Amino acid sequence: MPFTAAIMTCVLSYVWIIEPKVPRSAVLVPAAVLVILTAWHDLRRGEWGFSASALLPGLWRAVAVTFVAVLLIVGAGAGIGTLHDRRDFLGSLAPLVLWGGAQQWVLQTVVLREAQRISSRAKGILIAAVLFGVIHLPNPLLAPLTGAAALIWCRLYDRHPNIIPLAFSHGLGTLALRYAFDETITGHLRIGAAYLRQ
């Protein structure tokens, strides 16, 4: 899993060691490294995550699981009394879909596929999901939640290899968290050293 190892090293080094010491704009450097690594991998393997025939089957399945997940998240927020309104739903959703799509591109086309190559189809899904959860440590909400969501996303992608439905699922799930819980629960959606500094 050479590309996965390089991606994990890049992300974990940045969020734990580099990010606290550099200006926010420095995130462009590791972001560029991730894009280059993922594009290099995908060019070698011929899989970019945009299978046209997988779009509609993947979309309706992603809509179904995302609808249930959003209901559970919003219901939990209502149950504990932290559900609140946010301004500009569509303006908030658009960047979250793009950000979610970028994460799904790396997760599915590199991490999942490399994990499946060294193990099996089913075990690869589990390995990829665990690694995705690890990236979100030490946030006690995001780490297990993203690991569980990645199990579903990776299974969907394995059957219907198109990241577009997953990008919308990821964006809507993130937005649901922002509506359902206050920042003391979400940890401002921060990971790594940034989570510990809040």
CA distance 120 to 45: 17
Q: Tell me, what's the pLDDT at 41?
A: 98
**What is the pTM assigned to this prediction?**
0.94
Where do the domains of the chain lie?
49-197
Q: Read off the tokens for 61.
A: 């399945």
CA distance 8 to 6: 6
Instruction: Give 87's pLDDT tier (boundaries 50, 70, 90).
Output: confident
Q: Tell me, what's the pLDDT at 198?
A: 74
Q: Tell me, what's the pLDDT at 88?
A: 75
**Are 8 and 181 in contact, with CB atoms under 8 Å apart?**
no
Q: Tell me, what's the pLDDT at 196?
A: 94
> pLDDT digit string (tens) for 30-52?
999 999 999 999 999 999 999 99
CA distance 125 to 178: 27
Q: Tell me, what's the pLDDT at 159?
A: 98
Instruction: Give 70's pLDDT tier (boundaries 50, 70, 90).
Output: very high
Average pLDDT, integer, range 70-75: 97
Q: What mean pLDDT, rounded, does the chain reach? A: 96
Instruction: Give 111's pLDDT tier (boundaries 50, 70, 90).
Output: very high
Residue type, 140: P
For residue 47, the tally of other CB atoms under 10 A from its CB is 15
Q: Tell me, what's the pLDDT at 85?
A: 85
* Residue 71 CB burial class (10 angstroms; 0-12, 13-18, ≥19): exposed
For residue 161, give the 3-state DSSP assignment.
coil
pLDDT reading at 89 higher than 90? no
Q: Read off the tokens for 21.
A: 């010491």
pLDDT reading at 57 higher than 80? yes
Q: Is the peptide bond before 20 cis (omega within 30 degrees of 0)?
A: no
Q: For residue 32, what are the contacts with CB-CB under 8 A and spacing of at least 6?
A: none
> pLDDT digit string (tens) for 149-169?
999 999 999 999 999 999 999
> pLDDT digit string (tens) for 166-180?
999 999 999 999 999
> pLDDT digit string (tens) for 94-109?
999 999 999 999 999 9
CA distance 97 to 194: 22
Q: Which alpha helices (H) appear in 25-136, and where do they start and end?
A: 28-45, 52-80, 89-106, 113-118, 121-135
